Chain A
């Protein structure tokens, strides 16, 4: 019933497509490149980054929104609010942060903030219009976190594009990501290097039309 209503309202608002700002969520496990991709999009269309990306897990610990990002593809134009969310995880160990040269207090504080970030990210699932699930294409895609995220989006009938990030790395395996979630379109990109972004924007427009 709720699923049906979601589609119904999306259909109605879709009719006013050009006026509405699409809330585009960036979801995925920590360190997959959600913030890098959000920054790449912001840089491509606004000329500036808006969030911090780093190699340390849980760099994004609260939801960060960039409003009014207008993207053009093949003569069409859409305006988005980009919603960069903290990485979703089932465990957070402060000792992992110590390995990244933090002292014990900094590591514990970061772990505490990271737990709150995960909760916030899950709560935001009810507020986004469509979602980019950003996965590290060098990692095994069959993780429970990935399955839980995608299962939750399917249960809410939210359109999904899977972004297999880090496609420039030697170990990247886009086909494995595609095979793991055949029900959704998958696009390989390198957010850091900006590889395959034109194709990505085309897929993004198709996603919003759905």
Chain B
């Protein structure tokens, strides 16, 4: 059975970078797939990779991660400034981040419009 753990923006945004990474890795190491409201910034993503590498064992082989940016691209300048200011004040990066353990999520295939999450069983069935 797969467990999807949802993490709302208000719960996540107040944490420091280190706390965010610790929280993600704690859930993922327990075998959960995390759905985080919002996106990690690039420095948080690279820190997540670094911290993941530090704890890799023969049982925990790392993470699969993908983020989607669903902010509309064709806003007017005024709309864009308004949204950017709102996101800045709320420390929000609109979108969705999916993180799962590499032992369960074999691959997250991504193109600009969709995400395919392939789990171990899925992949076996495909063969």
A interface residue numbers (CB < 8 A to B)? 88-94, 108, 111, 115-116, 118-119, 122, 125, 140, 142-145, 147-148, 151-152, 154-155
Using Cβ atoms and an 8 Å threshold, which residues of chain B touch A90?
48-49, 52, 62-65, 102
B13 an interface residue at 8 Å Cβ cutoff? no
In angstroms, Cα B110 to Cα A50, docked, is 35
A and B contact pairs by CB, cutoff 8 A, 30 listed: A89-B49, A89-B62, A90-B49, A90-B64, A90-B65, A90-B102, A91-B61, A91-B63, A91-B64, A91-B102, A92-B61, A92-B62, A94-B58, A115-B54, A116-B53, A118-B53, A119-B50, A119-B53, A140-B111, A143-B110, A144-B45, A145-B49, A147-B45, A147-B67, A148-B46, A148-B49, A151-B41, A152-B46, A155-B41, A155-B42
B interface residue numbers (CB < 8 A to A)? 41-43, 45-46, 48-50, 52-54, 56, 58, 61-67, 102, 108-112
In angstroms, Cα B30 to Cα A30, docked, is 27
Q: Which of B50, B56, B64, B65 contacts A122 (CB 8 A)?
A: B50
| 17 additional A-B residue pairs with CB within 8 Å, beyond A90-B63, A92-B56 | A89-B49, A90-B49, A90-B64, A91-B62, A92-B61, A94-B58, A115-B53, A116-B53, A118-B50, A118-B53, A122-B50, A125-B46, A140-B111, A143-B110, A144-B67, A148-B46, A152-B45
Using Cβ atoms and an 8 Å threshold, which residues of chain B touch A145?
49
Beta-carbon nearest neighbor of A155 in chain B: B42
Q: A89-B62, A118-B49 are in contact. Are A144 and B108 (CB under 8 A)?
A: yes
Using Cβ atoms and an 8 Å threshold, which residues of chain A touch B56?
91-92, 111, 115
B42–A92 touching, CB < 8 Å: no
B66–A144 touching, CB < 8 Å: yes
Beta-carbon nearest neighbor of A143 in chain B: B110
Interface of chain A, main secondary structure: helix
Which 10 A-B residue pairings sit nearest by Cβ, starting from the closest? A91-B62, A151-B42, A91-B102, A115-B53, A148-B45, A93-B61, A152-B42, A142-B110, A118-B53, A144-B65
Beta-carbon nearest neighbor of A115 in chain B: B53
Give chain A nearest CB distance to B31 CB in angstroms.
Answer: 15
